[in-house]
Structure 1
Amino acid sequence: MSSPYSKSAAVAAVIAALDDGRTPQADALRAAVRALLTEFARRVPGRTVEVRVPPYGAVQCVAGPRHTRGNPPNVVQLDPVTWVELVTGRLSWADALAAGRVSASGNRADLSAYLPLPELDRIDDR
C-alpha cells in the first residue's frame, strides 16, 4: 500500500464480495474483521463493552466503568460478516438485532451510536 491512509485491502475485498453477493475469502474476512475491530476500539476507546467476533477477535471499547474480573457485564457478540456489514453501514444496528444477528447483553451494549464508522477509507490493515 502506498500510504498509511489507504483503504484496507482486506476490507475492500470483503466489501466487494458482499456487494456482489459472494462469500468473502476466509483470509480476507479474518484480516478485515481484525482491522475493523482495531479501528473501532481506537475510535470508541474504553473498557465498558467487549465486542466479540469469533473466531477472529475481540476488543474492549466504550468509555465508562471498567470491567476487571470474570465475565464482562456488557458484551456484544456477532459473526464476522455481520460485523463488517454493521461497521460499513450495509446493515443497521436495529435490523441486526431484529434479525437475531447480534447478541447484546448489558445496559451499555447498544453500539448504535457508534455505527457505522465514518471515513473507513482512512484505515490500514498493515
Structure 2
Amino acid sequence: MARARIADVEGRDAVRAWATADGTAGSGTAVDRDTLALAVRYTLQLLAEQAPGNSVEVRVPPFGAVQCVEGPRHTRGTPPNVVETDPATWLALAVGDEGWADARADGRIRASGTRADLTGLVPLIDRVR
C-alpha cells in the first residue's frame, strides 16, 4: 500500500522547524524525532516527485527511502545505484545549505553505482526560514 502524500504545508512546517531549531540549519539537534522524520520524509517525497523513476534508491535511515531518477528499473535484491546519508546531511542538501560534492567528499554521503549522483537534483526547496 502506498504511503499517503504529505501535504506541502505540513512538510514545509517540519523543514522550517528543523532549520530553525537552534538557529543553524543542518544541526537537527533541537528538533523532536517526529518532526525530523516528517521533514526527511517530505523532502524524499519531493525528490521522488521532481525526479520520477526507479534507477536510484535514496536512503535516509531510519526515516525513509525512495526510488527516483529515470533509467533502468530495479526490481529485486540490492539496487545497483544507492545513495545513503544521515538525516541532518540530507536536510541540509534538500534546502541548499550543503552542496552534494562537499558532503560526498567529507564522507557524509555513501553513493554506489554509476547513476548514484544527485547533482542538479538538490536542493529541492528554497530555504524555508
Task: Normalising by structure 2, report the TM-score.
Answer: 0.83
Secondary structure at the counterpart of residue 93 of structure 2: helix
Structure 2 counterpart of 1:99:
106
Ranked by relative contact order (alpha carbons within 8 Å, sequence separation 6 or more), the top structure is 1
- Work out the percentage of aligned pairs sharing the same amino acid: 52
Q: Which amino acid aligns with 1:30?
A: A
The number of residue pairs the alignment matches comes to 118
Write the deviation string for residues 33-56 of structure 1: whole angstroms up to 9, x where unpaired.
011111110111000000000000
Task: Normalising by structure 1, report the TM-score.
Answer: 0.85
- Point out where structure 1 has 5 or more consecutive residues left out of the alignment: 122-126
Structure 2 counterpart of 1:124:
none
Secondary structure at the counterpart of residue 21 of structure 2: helix
- Point out where structure 2 has 5 or more consecutive residues left out of the alignment: 1-6
Q: CA deviation at 1:19?
A: 3.9
Aligned pair partner of 1:115 in 100, 113, 122? 122
Say whether residues 1:83 and 2:90 are aligned partners. yes
* CA-based RMSD: 1.8
Structure 1 counterpart of 2:21:
17
Separation (CA, whole Å) in 1 of partners of 2:77 and 2:28: 39
Aligned pair partner of 1:58 in 61, 65, 84? 65
Q: Which amino acid aligns with 1:9?
A: D
Hey, which bits of structure 1, 4+ residues long, moved more than 6 A? none
